[in-house]
Amino acid sequence: MKKKWLWWCLLLLTGLSSGCWDQRELERLAIVSGIGIDLHPDGENYQVSFQIIRPDDVLGGRGGTGGGGGGGANKPFWTLKAEGKTVFDAIRNATFESSRRLFLSHNEVVIINEEVAKKGIFPIIEFLMRDAEPRLSEWLLVTPDQAEKVLQVESKLEKVPAAGIAHQLQTYHATSKVRAVSLYDFANHFVQKKTAGTMPVIRIVETDGEKILKLEKTAVFKEDKLAGDLDYRETRGLLWVLGEVRGGIIVLELPDDGATVSIEISEATGKISAVVKERPLKMQVEIDLEAILGGQSTEQNLVTPEKTNFLEKLTAEAITGEVEAALSKARQLGADIFGFAEHLHRYHPQVWKELQKEWESYFRQLDVTIKVKVLIAEVGLTRRPAILFGE
Amino acid sequence: MFRFLLRKLRLAQQFKENATPSAGYRLHKSLEENIALFRAELGESPDVAIRRFTLNLKKGIKAAIIFVEGLMDQQVVYDCILHPLMIEAKKETWTVDSDLLGFIQENLITASGLAQEDRFPPLVDAVLGGDTVLLIDGQTAALVVSTKNWEKRAIEEPDTEVTIMGPRDGFTEDLRTNTALLRRKINYPGLVFEQMVIGRRTRTTVVVAYVQGIANEKIVEEVKARLKRINTDMILDANYLTEFITDAPFSPFPTIAYTERPDVAAARLLEGRVAVLVNNTPTILMMPSLFIEAFQSPDDYNDHFLYATFIRWLRYLAFLMSFLLPALFVALTSYHQELIPTPLLISMAAAVEGTPFPVVIEVVAMGAVFEIIREAGVRLARPIGQTISIVGALVIGEAVVSAGLVAAPTVIVVALTAITSFVVPKQQEIAIILRLTLAVLAGILGAYGIIIGLLFTLAHLASLRSFGVPYFSPVIPLQVGDLKDVAVRAPLWAMWTRPQALEGQDSKRQNFGERVPSSIAAEEPDRPPSAPGKRKKEEKNRKK
Amino acid sequence: MSFVMTTGLIFPPLQGLWHDSWMTLLLGLAGGIVFALPYTTLCLRFPGKTLIEIHETVFGPVIGKLFSVASIWYTFHLGAQAGAIFITFLTTTIFTMTPRYVFSVTWLLVVGYLCKKGIEVIARVNEMLLVVTVFLIVGTGFLVLNIFKIENFLPLWSISLSDLLRAGFGTITFPFGQNVVFGLLLPFLHERGQARKAVFMGLCGAALFLLINLVITVGVLGELGKIFIFPTHQAFRMISIGQVMTRLELIPSLIFLAMGFIKVSIALYAASLGTAQLCKLQTYRPLVFPIGVLMVIAAHQIYPNIGVRLEMVERVQPIYALPFQLLFPLLALLAAVLRRLPGKEGQA
Amino acid sequence: MILLVLLGFALIVALELPGLLKARYWRELIVFALLTAGAFILSLLLVFGVELPYIDSVLIEVFTKLGLTLK
């Protein structure tokens, strides 16, 4: 029994004598919330910029205590640039200019410049996966601008711009015209046979002399290289197939009077199946949509069985159109962004073995049938159009 | 080290042999010599009174009574000894045969407690214990008249174990009162008190109490054996005993429980435990004691069982927090920042910004400061104590943060820990020790350090035994049946067995789940009245 | 039970075939049970005796000693292996900057303490941890449900039968066959008649846990899991419920670590006890620390980096472990049957 | 570092030796001494940076030479 204390002493002794290598006091950490990766002007090295949170200033503004620094309020973040032969190298080189060690565990976004993306992002993804600090859940984006500049654009609502970008991505539900891609999602493409990865594209837009970040398009990667992009409509086409559509508006134009009807997406599923009996095989995409009649510019009452049926048909056509657009773009790029290959691998491994080798050329002329089922389940609060003039 | 211990042991043994020299020498025939004996033994203390008188029997025999003032009842001495011997004896004409003492015992002394004794030491004990010794010239034996009576505290509710519901009585310093309190709770002849005297100089009376037919006899024997082996000169408080007989003297975990409440003691006795009552202390000892007992408050059994279960879980949580929270805080802030949600991390980083010390030091120092404040508050008179805590907690806490010496989250954590540790007062000391050790370990090795510390503690707990019963039972080793008073507080009618861990006799309290069903037939309004024939049939069915 | 579980949890034994690994797991369980048969039978035949003593009675003093030394070496190697894996786990995931010896020394202290307290304490601590682990696995299992994808298990039969068999064989030896260590301890653990039952229950329980864990990992990580050395850890890194319940990977990791302590202590205990019996000593206790230090040194010297370990598991481990796990007990059993040991009471 | 190793072994010996002597476990003492000496030498070698073979590497090599590997 008396030995117990000896033990504790021993434990403490070894502990104390061994010191504290991994100890990093909070106040000695530079919390990185965003990483931007550009090519260095010399074309060889990477130039990596970090958005580092300054906690004091983040909180300082919130309480409205004023005073603070007295003069011009500090920005709640600081953008640090560093260059290196690899991303990792650049991270360590950053300490030349930073008083604190960079801490990547709370990083939220990684913004990759187009040029870098065209060269291939495999080394970047590889590093992010291997290192213990970055997380699988951080968002990946591509930008045609300098990634460093993107990181410097202040968010109008959030204190920390990177958090702003992350939130901006997560509101994709509203339109389903942008795809949010995390490191985990993207890395999965690397291990999944021939599926092509995508990433959202972010850009600096200037409105009223103020710089604002805007999510545009979706970048398509072939293997690890940027190959092309999808616009909003094509992106939603892609999301339909993937079953990732969560919300958004489909605007229909009525053929008889040219009025517009907005259909709100409430629930959608997408399913891929393959018909493997015949060659060349056919893929089938089934999309199931539950929608809400959201608004109309015509005076006729659309809440009748026939009219709703008609609307459903129109919606289905619109969706088919979107998917077709995405499909043709994908065929043109030769990038299987829909994961047809993965589907074959999972459900028809035998067939997949057969097609594996020439999958890309096969994909380019793959026959895809699209089946869309639409159900308008709700019509909003009004039972007939809110018109100005009584009958 | 071992050699040293052995030598010590040997020394102790010699000591013991020397310690009992005067056993068994007897009284003389002459009264004066006997009085001289007492004088020699008891000295000239003013509280020892020797009253000589003449026993008016036959031709008048010299006699004396010896007692200690303040420990005896003057009235009893007068009514039962002096008056009958000096006055009543004169009235009648007695025929006294040879056995004078026996005659006095039978005919004259009216006190309820009376005994003959011819050895000297027990007589001294009796005098010092408040009894009156009657010496008669020419007799080689004396009469011991029970006249014990001294100033006692009234029975009050104990401060240390306050309950909201339930009985309000508590043990007092007086042993007899305490045994009486227990008897009043358990009106069952199986409740056994066995008395012994421990402490060479304090001669403290100690009573071992247990319920025959329930308590495990091996444990009872073990308790008695350990008590008998104690060889010290003073036992002033129950804890003196504890430290001598506890299983693991170096362990901070108490393997013997205390209580000041007769209801708790009675419940524990009926679970099959052994209680030890020590004279002059209001706390009684109960053994074997398990870790889990600290979480069982007497109020649990006075409340509804659902609520009691909920509260018990809160208590577990609070206990966990009370030793784990500072360590976790240290580990999270100085090692595993990736585990803190980002917004929280930012606020914490902002709070920590500019403080001069690492978090470990902050936590340990603030913990120490808190303990100091508490200690200062406890020892002082109550009103001042409160002032101290308010000044200490509010003023220092506030000032330390605004001066930028310590980060606000640290103060919050330390304060929270302090409060949680009061939820389980019986394990509070351990919580403090564990808390500081774990915090330091966390400061050295982060969460890994915590795990190491916890493993050590767990291993220690797993190896502890209290009078042969594994300390951590019924959790490890698992005894599912006993969990009904651990994981939950089952309804009383469902706690149909006594704790199995104690391995007592007669493990059944009542039949399983036996309650008293309502004797008023329940109306069944949700059923439509059916045809009389059918109804009868149904009733028949129900009876089956 | 936890003995099998722990390394498996952090370091799934299955390379190459990923989403089919649950099948190999079941195969491994079946194999493990088959492997367990010889030595449980042995232990039943020689009640109250450890493998060391059995060796001696069956093979005679000289050859028996050889067998015993081999068994002890195997146990020792196992303990060192487990220690090494856990240290690697710590230094690569959580404490990237701390030198390895810090962990090995603290490790040694805890394990030594546990061993000195004896098998009963180890078992009890284990029991406690087991409960916690069950709760945690089930609990975290619920937390990952929202990122769980059942499709990750497809296609079902992507590998050939031979591959499956080979992998299954691998699983038998690592981690299931490691149970042989209990051959050194069985007489202490349970009442005689229950030995076999206990081992089987343990195996099944462990397999069940591994299965749940595997299902979680595969379901969450999908194909991606293949590339990680410690997929379970990664899977738990994915947890994200609301703003609060994020990034919980540390908690399960540390619990598994604690279980790792237990595993190493059992190995160390077995090795010390075995050595003590081999040398006919009265007590194993003084041997705990020297052997512990040796084990730590071996843990440092077991592989330069985890790559070697991976290769070992894939290519050599099954063959290497086979004699210890199956051959020796089988031989002993055979010899015992041939020599009609134990004869009547007192002779054996 | 060397000091630490020395201290560690000194502690182990200090912890175990008196008990062994007291109980007159001579056999135990011999085994204990042998094992401790072995451990001590090995750890000294490690501390001095002598390159010892890695167990798994050796095993792999041996088994490869014997032709007893899978694949």
Residue B59 at interface with chain D, using a CB cutoff of 8 Å: no
Residue C135 at interface with chain A, using a CB cutoff of 8 Å: no
* CA-based nearest distance B457→chain C, Å: 10
- How do residues D1-43 score in pLDDT, each as one tens digit? 677 778 888 888 887 777 778 877 777 788 888 888 888 888 8
Are the Cβ atoms of C114 and B343 closer than 8 angstroms? no
Are the Cβ atoms of B455 and C250 closer than 8 angstroms? no
What interface predicted TM-score (ipTM) does this complex get?
0.80
- What pLDDT, on the 0 to 100 scale, is given for residue B3? 52
- How do residues B429-439 score in pLDDT, each as one tens digit? 888 888 888 99
* CA-based nearest distance D2→chain A, Å: 13
Nearest-angstrom CA–CA distance, B35 and B325: 68
- What pLDDT, on the 0 to 100 scale, is given for residue B499? 81
- What pLDDT, on the 0 to 100 scale, is given for residue C9? 43
Are the Cβ atoms of D70 and C283 closer than 8 angstroms? no
Nearest-angstrom CA–CA distance, B416 and B121: 57
- What pLDDT, on the 0 to 100 scale, is given for residue B466? 87
Are the Cβ atoms of B447 and C250 closer than 8 angstroms? yes
pLDDT at C346 over 50: no
Q: Which residue in chain A has the smallest CA separation from C158? A: A349
Q: Which of C154, C226, C234 sits opposite A347 (nearest CB)?
A: C154
For C:274-303, CB contacts with B below 8 A are: none
* Contacts with D22 from chain B: Cβ below 8 Å: 2-3
Dihedral sign, CA of A358, A363, A365, A366? positive
Residue A6 at interface with chain B, using a CB cutoff of 8 Å: no
- How do residues B86-95 score in pLDDT, each as one tens digit? 888 777 666 6
Answer yes or no: are the C-beta atoms of A168 and A205 closer than 8 Å. no
- For chain A, list the contacting chains (3+ Cβ pairs, <8 Å): B, C, D
| Greatest mean pLDDT among A246-255, B153-162, B277-286, B347-356 | B277-286
Nearest-angstrom CA–CA distance, C217 and C12: 10
- What pLDDT, on the 0 to 100 scale, is given for residue B208? 93
Q: Which of B348, B445, B460 sits opposite A26 (nearest CB)?
A: B348
- How do residues C282-337 score in pLDDT, each as one tens digit? 777 788 888 888 888 888 777 777 777 777 766 776 677 777 777 777 777 777 77
* Contacts with D57 from chain C: Cβ below 8 Å: 303-304, 308
- What pLDDT, on the 0 to 100 scale, is given for residue B276? 93
C41: nearest Cα among C269, C199, C266? C199
Residues in D whose CB is inside 8 Å of some CB of B read 18-19, 22
- What pLDDT, on the 0 to 100 scale, is given for residue B210? 92
* Contacts with B3 from chain D: Cβ below 8 Å: 18, 22
- What pLDDT, on the 0 to 100 scale, is given for residue B209? 93
Are the Cβ atoms of B456 and C113 closer than 8 angstroms? yes
Residue A131 at interface with chain B, using a CB cutoff of 8 Å: no
Answer yes or no: are the C-beta atoms of B331 and A24 closer than 8 Å. no
- The residue among B329, B346, B448, B457 with the most chain A CBs within 10 A of its CB, best to mutate, is B346
Which residues, listed in sequence order, are joined to residue A46 by a DSSP beta bridge?
A39, A84
Q: Mapping DSSP to helix (H, G, I), strand (E, B) and coil, where does residue B236 land?
A: coil
Nearest-angstrom CA–CA distance, C256 and C253: 5
For B:419-448, CB contacts with C below 8 A are: 445-448
- How do residues C34-54 score in pLDDT, each as one tens digit? 777 777 777 667 766 677 777
* Contacts with B446 from chain C: Cβ below 8 Å: 94-95
* CA-based nearest distance B336→chain C, Å: 8
Q: Which of D28, D38, D52 sits opposite C282 (nearest CB)?
A: D28
B343: nearest Cα among D31, C147, C243, C266? C243
Nearest-angstrom CA–CA distance, B369 and B405: 14
Are the Cβ atoms of A132 and C96 closer than 8 angstroms? yes
Tokens of C52: 């060391």
Categorize the per-residue pLDDT at C23 as very low, low, confident or very high, splitting at 50, 70 and 90: low
* CA-based nearest distance C304→chain D, Å: 7
3-state helix, strand, coil in chain C (%, to 5): 80, 0, 20
Q: Mapping DSSP to helix (H, G, I), strand (E, B) and coil, where does residue B259 land?
A: strand
* Contacts with D19 from chain C: Cβ below 8 Å: 286
Alpha helix (H) residue ranges in B248-404: 262-271, 305-334, 342-352, 359-379, 382-390, 397-402
| pLDDT per 10-residue tile (average), chain A, 391 residues | 54 53 74 88 84 80 41 71 87 82 85 88 85 82 88 82 85 81 81 77 86 86 84 87 85 84 87 81 88 82 84 89 89 84 80 80 84 86 69 50
* Contacts with C301 from chain D: Cβ below 8 Å: 46, 52-55
Calculate the CA dihedral of residues A316, A317, A318, A324 and round it to 10 degrees.
110
Residue A10 at interface with chain D, using a CB cutoff of 8 Å: yes
SS (H, E, C) B135-197: EECCCCCEEEECCECCCCCCCCCCCCCCCCCCCCCCCCCCHHHHHHHHHHHCCCCCEEEEEEE
C250: CB partners within 8 A, 6+ apart: B336, B339, B447, C94
Answer yes or no: are the C-beta atoms of B316 and B475 closer than 8 Å. no
Nearest-angstrom CA–CA distance, C327 and C55: 13
Categorize the per-residue pLDDT at C22 as very low, low, confident or very high, splitting at 50, 70 and 90: low
Are the Cβ atoms of D39 and C293 closer than 8 angstroms? yes
Nearest-angstrom CA–CA distance, C57 and C348: 7
- For chain D, list the contacting chains (3+ Cβ pairs, <8 Å): A, B, C
* Contacts with A2 from chain C: Cβ below 8 Å: none
* Contacts with D4 from chain A: Cβ below 8 Å: 17
Answer yes or no: are the C-beta atoms of B227 and B213 closer than 8 Å. no
Residue D25 at interface with chain C, using a CB cutoff of 8 Å: yes
- What pLDDT, on the 0 to 100 scale, is given for residue B530? 55
Q: Mapping DSSP to helix (H, G, I), strand (E, B) and coil, where does residue B273 land?
A: coil
- The residue among A7, A9, A10, A11 with the most chain D CBs within 10 A of its CB, best to mutate, is A10
Are the Cβ atoms of C102 and A14 closer than 8 angstroms? yes
Which residues, listed in sequence order, are joined to residue A30 by a DSSP beta bridge?
A102
- How do residues C122-165 score in pLDDT, each as one tens digit? 777 877 777 777 777 777 777 777 667 666 666 555 566 666 66
* Contacts with A6 from chain C: Cβ below 8 Å: none
What are the backbone angles phi and psi of residue B307, rounded to the nearest 5°?
-65, -40
Are the Cβ atoms of C106 and B456 closer than 8 angstroms? no
* CA-based nearest distance C137→chain D, Å: 32
Residue C302 at interface with chain D, using a CB cutoff of 8 Å: yes
Tokens 């870098």 belong to which residue?
Answer: A116
- How do residues B331-364 score in pLDDT, each as one tens digit? 888 888 877 888 888 888 888 877 888 888 888 8
Residue A13 at interface with chain C, using a CB cutoff of 8 Å: no
The gap from C-alpha B65 to its chain's centroid, in whole angstroms, comes to: 37
Q: Are strands A282-296 and A367-378 parallel, antiparallel or unpaired?
A: parallel
* Contacts with D27 from chain C: Cβ below 8 Å: 279-282
Calculate the CA dihedral of residues A345, A347, A350, A351 and round it to 10 degrees.
-80
Are the Cβ atoms of D70 and C315 closer than 8 angstroms? yes
Calculate the CA dihedral of residues C94, C95, C101, C103 and round it to 10 degrees.
-50
- The residue among D2, D3, D6, D15 with the most chain A CBs within 10 A of its CB, best to mutate, is D15
- What pLDDT, on the 0 to 100 scale, is given for residue A63? 42
Residue C308 at interface with chain D, using a CB cutoff of 8 Å: yes
What is the mean pLDDT of the segment spanning B151-163? 83
SS (H, E, C) A170-220: HHHHHCCCCCCCEHHHHHHHHHCCCECCEEEEEEEEEECCEEEEEEEEEEE
For A:185-244, CB contacts with C below 8 A are: 187-188, 191-192
Tokens 């559509």 belong to which residue?
Answer: A245
Are the Cβ atoms of A25 and B437 closer than 8 angstroms? no
pLDDT at B141 over 60: yes
